[in-house]
Structure 1
Amino acid sequence: MKLTIITPTYNRGDKLNKLFKSLNNQTVKDFNWLIIDDGSIDDTAEVVRDFMAVANFEIRYDIQENGGKHRALNKGISKITTELTIIVDSDDFLTENAVETILDYHELYDNRKESDKLCGFSFLRAYSNGEINTGEFPVDEVVDTYRQQRINNNLLGDKAEVYYTDILKMYPFEEFDGEKFMPEDAVWLKMSGPYNMVHINRVIYYCDYLEGGLTRTGRRMKIFSPYGMMYRSSVYLNDPQVNIKAKAKMAILYQVYSQFAKNRDDENNKDKESILDDRARCKVNSPMDKLLLALSFVPSKCIFLIWDRKYK
C-alpha cells in the first residue's frame, strides 16, 4: 500500500459520508483511510463503524482528547507507514480517479525524488461547482518551492498537497498549550528551501466551506490561538526569500496576535517562564524583519482594537 488519506475530524459525523463515497468509488484501491477523531461528542464513532462494515478499502480510526486539527494531524502522521500522505478534510471529497492520478505521478517522478529534492506533489482543488480554487499554476508540472509558487506568485488559495511521509514526519506542527489552531502553511513554508514540489494542473479534490468548519470559523478561532498565529508569522518573517509584500502583512499580524497573546496571558495569570518560552519559539531574527515589526506597530494596534471589540 502506497498512500494514506488522513482525515482529522471533530463533530462531523453527518458530513463524512460524501468523502466515504468518493473513496469507495476510487478507480484504484491502493490506499487506506486514517480518521483521527479530535474528541467528537456526536455520532462520529458509530458512523465510522458503519463505514468499516461496507468499505471496499481499509479504514483505520483513532480518537484523542479534543486538542485541535494540528494535534490530530501530528498524532495521525506519526502512525502512517505508507510512502505518501494526503490530508483530506472531513467535509471535502476526492475525484474518483484521485488515487490513480496521485500514484501515476508518483511513479513518473519516483526516480527524481532525491535529485529534485522533492517533498511531494501539489494538485488543484476545486469547488463542487467545478470552479478551481484561486486558479491554475502558471506552468504545469513545474518543480519549485511552495514559497515561490504559492506565496511569491500570490496563488494563496487552497490546493491538494500530497507529501512523502518520511519528509512530512520531519516537520510536525508546533503545539502551544491551551491553543487549538495552527495554520498548516507554517509547516509547508518551512519545507520550502530544503524541498521542492511538483505543481500539477489536475483537479483531484473538491471542497465547499461549510458553516462550523475551520475555514468559516476563521478569525475568532485564530484570536484564541495567538501564539500559533505569531509562530506562523515568524516563519514567514524569518524566511529571507519570502517577498516583502507577504512579510509586511505578516509583520502586522504578528503584532496583532502578540497583543492578543499578552492579554490572554494576563487573564490566565500565566507564569513568566512559560511566557518567555512561548515567545522564544515565535522569535523574529533579522534586523530588517524587526524593523518591519516596528513600522507595523501603529496599523497593528488599530486592527487589534477593532478585532478585540468585534470578537470579544
Structure 2
Amino acid sequence: MKTLTVFTPAYNRGYIIHKCYESLCRQTSKDFVWLVVDDGSTDNTAQLIKEWQKQDNGFEIKYIYKENGGMHTAHNTAYENIDTELNVCIDSDDYMPDDAVEIILDEWKKYRENEKYGGMVALDVDSKNFNVIGTELDETIKNFNLDYYYNHGGLGDKKLIYRTDVIKKYPQYPVFEGEKYVSLAYKYRLIGKDYFLGVINKPVCVVEYQENGSSMNMYRQYLNNPKGFAFIRKINMQYIDDKKRNFIDCIHYVSSSIISKNKSFVKESPKKLMTVLAVPFGLLLTVIIRIKAKKLMKVK
C-alpha cells in the first residue's frame, strides 16, 4: 500500500488539470495514489483522467464521479475512499513541485511515531513568481496549531497534510439543501483542538487562483450559501478564543442569517449577547454584500 493519497476535487477544469497531472508524473517519489473526485463536470475531465489511467505513470490513478455538490462534498467523498496513511488535497488548478511528495514523506518520519500529531502543515507558493503565500511558518512554535499561528500574525493559505485515520474520526462536512459551500476549516478546526501539526517550512503546492474559483467570488458565495456560512461562523465562535474574532464572526453570522431568512439566529447562536450587539453591523454587511455581488454580476 502507498503512504500518501493526493486527492483532487475537480469541476469543469479539463483545460488546466493537466498541470496537476504532469507535476505528479515528475515526482521524485512515487509513493502515492492520485484520487480525482469529479464533482459533476460536464467538460472533458472524465476523458482526460481515463486516458491518463491507461498510461504507465509510476503511480495509480483513481477516478470517482459524483453529482455536483461543491468542494466540501468532494472532500467527503475523498475521505470515504482514501485508505493510505496520509492524504493531501491538491486542487485541480494547482500543482506540486517535483520533490513535494518526497519532502512530505521525509518530514513525516519526524512525527509519525507520536500520536499527538494529526498531520503536518506546509507552504503554498504562487504560480507567477513562486513567492510564499502569506508568511512562512514559525518553526519555533512548539505543538503547532493553525489557530494559534493565525492569531499571532500568520497569514496566507497553507497546505495541510493529514493522517487519514485522524481526519476520518470527525464528522463529515454538512450539506445544506440548495447550497454548495461549507468552509473546509470546519474539520481542520475540530482536529486542531485534539492534535498538533508538524511543520514543513518548504513549499509543496503551487497555487493559481482562477477567476471562477470560490475565493475570487466570495460575495456571491455569501448570497448563494448563507446557511453554510452561518454554520462555520457558529463553529468559529465555539472554538476560537478571541473576542475580536468572535465579534467579527457574529457580524457575519447575523448577515448570513438575514440572507437565509433564519429568524431564530439569536437563539441558535453560541454567543447570544454578542450576536444581539452585532445586529446593526450585520445589517450593514448584508447591504454591502448585495451591492458587491451585484457589481460582480455586471462585470461578468
In structure 1, give the amino acid aligned to 2:284.
Answer: C
In structure 1, give the amino acid aligned to 2:279.
Answer: F
Aligned-partner Cα distance in 2 for 1:139–1:195: 17
Quote the residue 2:278 is aligned against.
296
SS in 1 for 2:111: helix
Computed over aligned residues only, the root mean square deviation of the Cα atoms, in angstroms, reads: 1.9
Aligned-partner Cα distance in 2 for 1:147–1:283: 24
- Sequence identity, in percent? 32
Quote the residue 1:118 is aligned against.
117
CA contact (8 A) 2:19 2:94 kept: yes
Residue ranges of structure 1 left out of the alignment (5+ in a row): 266-274
Q: Is residue 232 of structure 2 the alignment partner of residue 232 of structure 1?
A: yes
| Bigger mean CA deviation after superposition, 10-19 or 212-221 | 212-221
Cα shift at 1:310 = 3.8
Aligned-partner Cα distance in 1 for 2:241–2:225: 24
Aligned-partner Cα distance in 1 for 2:141–2:274: 35
Aligned length: 290
Aligned-partner Cα distance in 2 for 1:38–1:184: 16
| Bigger mean CA deviation after superposition, 51-60 or 202-211 | 51-60
Aligned-partner Cα distance in 2 for 1:109–1:5: 19
TM-score (norm 2): 0.91
Aligned-partner Cα distance in 1 for 2:289–2:123: 33
Residue ranges of structure 2 left out of the alignment (5+ in a row): 295-300
Q: CA-to-partner distance for each residue in 1:124-177, whole Å, 9 max, x for gaps?
A: 111021111111123357422222123x12424210100000111122212212
Alignment of 1:83-232 (within 5 A): 83-112=85-114, 114=115, 117-128=116-127, 129-139=129-139, 142-150=142-150, 152-171=151-170, 172-232=172-232
In structure 2, give the amino acid aligned to 1:38.
Answer: D
Alignment of 1:13-32 (within 5 A): 13-32=14-33
Cα shift at 1:311 = 2.5
SS in 2 for 1:160: strand
TM-score (norm 1): 0.88
Aligned-partner Cα distance in 1 for 2:196–2:121: 10
> Which aligned runs of 4 or more in structure 1 are off by greater than 4 angstroms?
none
Q: CA-to-partner distance for each residue in 1:72-94, whole Å, 9 max, x for gaps?
A: 11011111000101011000000
SS in 2 for 1:197: strand
One of 248, 269, 283 as aligned partner of 1:284: 269
